Chain A
Amino acid sequence: MEERYTLKKSNPALKVFIYILLVVWAFINLFPIYFMFTFSLKSNEEIFGKNVVGLPHEWRWSNYSSAMGTGNMGLYFFNSVLVTVFSIAISIMAAMMATYALTRIKWKWAEMTNAFFMLGLTIPLQASIVPVYVILSKLHWLNHYSTLIIPYSAFTLSMSILICTGFMVDIPYDLDEAARIDGCGLWGTFFRIIAPLLKPALSTIGIYAFLQCWNEFMFANVFISDSKHRTLPVGIKALSGAYTTDWGPIGAALVIATFPTLIIYIFLSRKIQDSFIAGAVKG
């Protein structure tokens, strides 16, 4: 019943116009994805010649083998997965523990400490890049996986704590008391009672942190100079420098970096949207 009144008054011409607008905007958003996919399968003759936007006449999967082979996209993909997974795991663990201390143990400075962590939501990534770069280079610690993992987990921490807090305050405090009566200490309560109840928070934080780390470019570009530890964004930049005249393999590289995320998104769109909303509602 609540659905019916909304459109009652609008006139049909306006409605058609609005639909056309919505469809055109959808097309504008889908076109780059379509374009990337089709040119990843074309030869230069097709891309530069008569068949710019159509489906490929001849599906050249060999573009993918050159992106994976000489382009090293396989390695970059693996690096991105590794860096992202470890960053998320560290960020989530640290955030859960901190949030537990901030929301479920009563102490004087809890609120202030929380506000301190929330500073991280506004501080730009650029703020720490000079000293971190200098220290890492003095310690000969550039060009490792951990060069990216540690900063990434630090930079996703504030948001992880924010999201975690939202979930943790919803858990009834009676549970803590019951656990205490049963002889659990703070650590027992955290690991046996609270942490398992935070599973829904994990996916929300995980999704948010995943996209931050997977797509991060600035730190990766500045801190990683050897090809062995490049993540996808830096790898694509390097590849596009190497293949300036051959568009097919670049297209293949773009698809390799993008489609896994998009395919997951198609199946989990609501969940992924929710995690972005959760990350901004309090902001």
Chain B
Amino acid sequence: MIKILKYSFYDLMRSRWSYVYLAFYMLLGFVLLFLNSDLSKATITLMNIIVVLTPMIGTIFGIMYFYNSREFTELLLSQPVKRSTIFLGQYLGLSLSLSMSLIIGLGIPFLMYGITQSDAVGNFITLLASGTFLTFIFVALSLNIGLGNSNKIKGFGYAILMWLFFAVIYDGLFMISLIVFGDYPLDKFALGASLFNPIDLSRIMILLKLEISALLGYTGALFQKFFGTNLGILISVGVLLLWIFIPVMLMLRKSLRKDF
């Protein structure tokens, strides 16, 4: 598995897109800090971008890589290697290289502007951690879609739709249900609903970290109570891990049964 992981990882490291992705984040970091050298403010702006962009890049890269390396995968399958090893290796290689682009790309500019000495360092680490989580989650989800659809166009369509659903449509449905059922106590519902969407979950975790919690009024008080405690943080990290674990398991199951 390590060999396949290594191969996928180096393959991606050599590819142009990893550099483009890295360069994009680096540029973003520098421009943000150039326009506004207040690190904590830049972290807030970055949040908006990370929460939307990392899932999208993860999804698109995941599905693209799956279809592009199909022939190589088929070659591997003919060798005496376990299927789960092949796909897990590919998955980890892809997710790791994307996460590294993110961490290095944003890390360098923020380090150069002295993030380690500022108060925003905790927030920044939370930001990178949730970006990494989102990458791992969405790569797994998109590989699932790839395995389920041999038709490239269909696969791409579903992947984009999946991203759109989590990034936009879910929040829309969420908001509508909050408005429609406004006469009922909705705090617990809101808390539960946010756990079912990794993008929302990481967004809210970062929001609460950035002390915007007071804005959230009494709903926020509940959230603060939940996410502010160690138990809450453990639960939300646990949920994020589940969000990685379940799609990966599904992917492995699918890969075992699939007739290539």
Q: Do A and B bind each other?
A: no
Which residues in A have some Cβ–Cβ distance to B below 8 Å?
Answer: none
Which residues in B have some Cβ–Cβ distance to A below 8 Å?
Answer: none
